[in-house]
Structure 1
Amino acid sequence: MADCLPFRSTGFFTDLISDYIEEKKDLKPFYNRFPSIDNFEAQIEEKSKSYNQDNRKGLIEVLTNQYKLLSTSQETQQHIDLLLEHTTYTVTTGHQLNLFTGPLYFLYKIVSTINLAKQLKENYPDANFVPIYWMASEDHDFDEINFFNFKQNKLEWEKDTEGAVGHLSTSGLEKLSKTIEKEFGKSDNAEYLKGLFKVAYLEHETLASATQFLANELFGEYGLVVLDADDARLKTMFSKHIKNDLQYHTAFRQTKKQADKLSDLGYNVQVNPREINLFYMYEGIRERIVKQDDRYLVIDSEVSFSEQEILDLVDEYPERFSPNVVMRPLYQEVILPNLAYIGGGGELAYWLELKSLYEAESVTFPILMLRNSVLLYSDKTAKKLRKLDTEIKDLFLSTDALEAKQTKRNSSIDIDFESQKKVLEKQFADLYELAEKTEQSFYGAVAAQEKKQKNGLDHLEKRLLKAQKRKLKDENERVLELQRYLFPNQSLQERTFNFSEIYVDYGEKLIPKLIEELDPFQFEFLCLELTIYNTKS
């Protein structure tokens, strides 16, 4: 069973994203083409003309090298080989190197990307489409990625770190692996997950290689290509744009202009660009580059360069220049023959600040696709909801609103005073008719009395609701308990759960089920019921 809700009605998406999905006129200047299947025809034509086809050879060389130590599926290898052809395009999603994939939406991002590539092939059979997972291996926010949740327990990797997370050694994860042995249980599905964690993190030297292995294991059969763009050959293709940022602050000027326009429209700005949107990455550090007077300084270090020195360094060691959140999307679109980016609401919010930067840099702006969002619930939960006469969409309400709705539904007393209010309005209609025949002061007195009595009815209605809540507390608690489980800390399940929590019960059918059910062009929130088969060893 599956139900869909408009993103806006869930209460978990910003006006900016809801307005984008609803194609509000004010937002059209901030994107290239709306994500419809028909619009990809023009996107393909534009990208074919703007993309530097010479980049394909270097891209394949990098991917071939990175896949040397992986068991590459036939589908993935075919996709890598196809990248050499001028009629092959990519669709891309990106994500941090979260421990054991991190939040559940990691799966939804990649499934959305795989399914988009499949639908494009069906509609444009003369071209080829490769789903790409771009690993954010150059990020340095270790505290954001060093844990995952399993049944409300935070399983954390404790480690002192600095620099790009992709370079981090996986040493020290043996301790966490032992914790997982206890937490996951002993079912067949749990044993598979424990083995997957061990191979990924105890048999691979860096977090980047562990993450690439894990994504390949989960999605290789669907032809997913995992790319670590932390590579000198790829940075060489981007060097012109690195120099533009250093010398002319192109990204700052263009992005700030767009951000100011979004702000004027009443939207919150997701990222604020800096004059230089690059980090210096060398010997374990990743620190911002700033310009003071005529020198380029690396923050929190004694490293500095003249303009000519830093430009020469870009030519000699491009891998030392790491793009930030503003420049990374441009880097992606320069090195890939990319048509679309699939991301969450927060990601699309900052992408909508970038279009004029692409125009200034003569790079095609991709179609922006909002990834699928899903609430997964078991058939057992579905039975409980039916028994409680509650719909899954009700659980998206606030706790107070859900409790009030459930109380009104289960109460033997009619808590809605709407009929009494209509009687009151009829009585006062007669009084207003009378007041029309006398002086204005009496008319005002009638209006004041009507307001007072309506407020009194509202107060009584609230008192009655409160009393019935107490009386039906045990019945309501069963619904609220389901809501607390599926919306931990009043947040979306996909932002808190790790896939392992679902996989322990649902097993190897999980990803095929998501592949079957998720439609990248269905811009609604999906509530998906799963039939659980918990196999024991």
Structure 2
Amino acid sequence: MKIEKCLIPNEKLRQNETFYTYDPTQDNSYLKRYLYVTNQKYKREQLVEVLRQYHHPELIHPSIEKNFDRLLSPDSVVVIGGQQAGLLTGPLYTLYKVITIIQLAKREEERLQKPVIPVFWIAGEDHDWQEVDHLYVPNHIETVKHSFPFENVNKGSVSSIMLEPHVVHQWLNELHQSIEDREHKADWVTLCEELTHEPITWTYFFARILHYLFGEYGLILIDSNDANLRALEADYFDQLIQKNEELHDAIDQGIANWEAKGNPSVLQFEENQAHLFVEEEGKRIALYREGDRFTSRNHFFQYSSFDLQAKHFQLSNNVATRPLMQEMVFPVLAFVGGPSEIDYWGCLADAFPVLDLQMPIVYPRQSVTIIERSIEKYRANWGVTWDTLIIGKGQALLESWKQNNQPLDVEQQFADLYHQLEDLYTPFIQELNTTIGGNMKQMGESTREKMRMHIRWLKQKAYGLIDERQEVSLRQQREVINAVYPMEGLQERCYNLVYFWNNYGLDWLHMLCKQELPELDTHQVLYL
């Protein structure tokens, strides 16, 4: 195994740096932010107790226990990031986000000589289960989707989804039968079966796998929908309710400022949205503000501010208020996010001050493409660079290759045939129409179209035969594209860990964890 880095400048981050409080590329940003955070007050003892209860009894490792103790110290800070609870950890970028959190925490602890603790929150309060109920694995030139068979799922949070062992095990059986038998297949199949030997929530299954993968690095986990966390957040929800109108205006202004710089906003909200949800009757319901009251879209549920404050166990944040809640709960040195997250954080520049908060350092997660030996061989035969493939130009190059490697006169031969047909047929039809009349012109045009259709069919067959002759090269090139840029996106946004775990084990994952934090403007190519 080896890692190479190719340069992919993050121009978007540079162009929009004025929307962020700190520049993540500057060393002094980390000391300034550290001094700010350690001068704030947090409910550290209550927070650590919440975290302990979430981890006990099974999500415990000596490194995690140590980090609980360290988090109690007023001179400690965290590097934090989060993600939805994807099936078997979801797309690979979730793992790369975790790895970035671990690496950045380690780097800054060495530089600051202070405790810096890696934390990962699981977006258990989210209710769009269709975003997390499937995974993708590569199969040569195809991308195969495996969906989990949910039944009778309501619109509550994904944390409320219970998994029955027999359902999970049946799905796992179908998944592993569709994946080639390799040395490490039994590892992931057995683990997943053991982690689901009893009924378990969707998010806790996700947490168990993350703990198995990263517990030794002291990674602390928390479900954003955890009841104990909700109790800690009660006062903070009060602030979001009391300052809701001001917060709404600040978010709207932040989006307007972002768009004024020519950026498309990833945040789109309905008018008077309160940026909070309430769970009623097992469903997560968006709230809207009407004067001094809060209401559901259909006005079926209505609350005064006092009513809503009493329901903090049923409240949850939306995409705009989650960063604010995170800032109130944790002593955040840096937040690690993906491209879309970083964009919407830029839209929140005016929202943090409303609650007397400061935006932390916003640090882009690292990006990785995993390359198998066969794929590297095919790429070398093709003669294209990884940089070109990673930015999505592979399909265009394949089409160009097909054009450049077909018999040069085929296109011209058919073009000449079309011209000859027109030169001969047009005056012929005109003469028939003149000498015979009737509907000869109409029949002639119909016959002309049939002849054109047959020529097009013949042309397709000719190209089909050419493709067959080129099939070996074309198939290899398609495999390269499907491996590196599947479904018109980066590999990390599509494929799941299970394919690479099945074929290569987990040594490559731990190698990524233990290497130094890569430069911000690099995309890593990991050769297996």
What TM-score, normalized to structure 2? 0.80
* Aligned-residue offset at 1:5: 3.3
* Aligned-residue offset at 1:205: 1.8
Change (3 A) 1:407 1:148: closer
Match of 2:185 among 187, 190, 196: 190
Aligned mates of 1:522, 1:405 — CA distance in 2: 33
Change (3 A) 1:521 1:236: farther
Aligned residue runs from structure 1 range 235-314, under 5 A: 235-248=230-243, 249-273=245-269, 275-292=273-290, 294-299=292-297, 302-311=300-309, 313=310
Contact 1:137 1:166 in 2 (8 A): yes
Match of 2:175 among 173, 180, 183: 180
Match of 1:41 among 3, 16, 31: 31
Unaligned runs of 5+ residues in structure 1 are 9-16, 414-466, 531-537
Report the residue type matching 1:170 in the other structure.
Answer: L
1:33 match: secondary structure: coil
2:289 match: secondary structure: strand
* Aligned-residue offset at 1:213: 1.1
Cα offsets for 1:444-478 (capped at 9, x unmatched): xxxxxxxxxxxxxxxxxxxxxxx9xx699454553
Q: How many pairs align?
A: 457
Aligned mates of 2:263, 2:395 — CA distance in 1: 28
Contact 2:287 2:294 in 1 (8 A): yes
* Aligned-residue offset at 1:411: 10
The alignment's C-alpha RMSD in Å is 2.7
2:366 match: secondary structure: coil
Report the residue type matching 2:132 in the other structure.
Answer: I
Aligned mates of 1:64, 1:301 — CA distance in 2: 39
Of the structure 1 ranges 183-192 and 265-274, higher mean CA displacement relative to structure 2 is found in 183-192
Give the aligned partner of residue 65 of structure 1.
Answer: 53
Aligned mates of 1:143, 1:344 — CA distance in 2: 20
Of the structure 1 ranges 114-123 and 475-484, higher mean CA displacement relative to structure 2 is found in 475-484
Q: Percent identity?
A: 23
Contact 2:8 2:522 in 1 (8 A): yes
Unaligned runs of 5+ residues in structure 2 are 409-462
Report the residue type matching 1:402 in the other structure.
Answer: L
Change (3 A) 1:291 1:490: closer
Change (3 A) 1:184 1:197: farther
* Aligned-residue offset at 1:277: 0.6
Aligned mates of 1:497, 1:405 — CA distance in 2: 27
What TM-score, normalized to structure 1? 0.79
2:287 match: secondary structure: strand
* Aligned-residue offset at 1:246: 2.9
Does residue 212 (structure 1) correspond to residue 207 (structure 2)? The answer is yes
1:497 match: secondary structure: coil
Give the aligned partner of residue 431 of structure 2.
Answer: none
* Aligned-residue offset at 1:368: 0.7
Aligned mates of 1:228, 1:275 — CA distance in 2: 24
Aligned mates of 1:527, 1:386 — CA distance in 2: 15
Contact 2:367 2:523 in 1 (8 A): yes
Match of 1:492 among 477, 490, 495: 490
* Aligned-residue offset at 1:38: 3.4
* Aligned-residue offset at 1:146: 0.8
Give the aligned partner of residue 131 of structure 1.
Answer: 118
2:370 match: secondary structure: strand
* Aligned-residue offset at 1:480: 3.5
Cα offsets for 1:192-224 (capped at 9, x unmatched): 111122123343521122121111111001111
1:390 match: secondary structure: coil
* Aligned-residue offset at 1:69: 2.5
Cα offsets for 1:134-167 (capped at 9, x unmatched): 0000000010001112333222122221201012
Aligned mates of 1:243, 1:515 — CA distance in 2: 39
Report the residue type matching 2:210 in the other structure.
Answer: A
Contact 1:58 1:233 in 2 (8 A): no
Cα offsets for 1:383-442 (capped at 9, x unmatched): 3333343332232342454236757998999xxxxxxxxxxxxxxxxxxxxxxxxxxxxx
1:173 match: secondary structure: helix
Aligned mates of 1:204, 1:214 — CA distance in 2: 15
* Aligned-residue offset at 1:283: 4.5
* Aligned-residue offset at 1:2: 3.6
Report the residue type matching 1:28 in the other structure.
Answer: E
Aligned mates of 1:29, 1:80 — CA distance in 2: 35
Report the residue type matching 1:18 in the other structure.
Answer: E
Does residue 165 (structure 1) correspond to residue 166 (structure 2)? The answer is no
Change (3 A) 1:403 1:211: closer
Give the aligned partner of residue 378 of structure 1.
Answer: 372
Give the aligned partner of residue 101 of structure 1.
Answer: 89
Contact 1:97 1:135 in 2 (8 A): yes
Change (3 A) 1:138 1:401: same
Aligned mates of 2:372, 2:190 — CA distance in 1: 25
Give the aligned partner of residue 452 of structure 1.
Answer: none
Change (3 A) 1:292 1:394: closer
Aligned mates of 2:55, 2:479 — CA distance in 1: 45
Aligned mates of 1:391, 1:2 — CA distance in 2: 15
Aligned mates of 1:360, 1:208 — CA distance in 2: 32
1:111 match: secondary structure: helix
1:365 match: secondary structure: coil
1:369 match: secondary structure: strand
Change (3 A) 1:194 1:371: same
Give the aligned partner of residue 462 of structure 1.
Answer: none
Give the aligned partner of residue 5 of structure 2.
Answer: 4
Match of 2:218 among 192, 200, 223: 223
Give the aligned partner of residue 412 of structure 2.
Answer: none
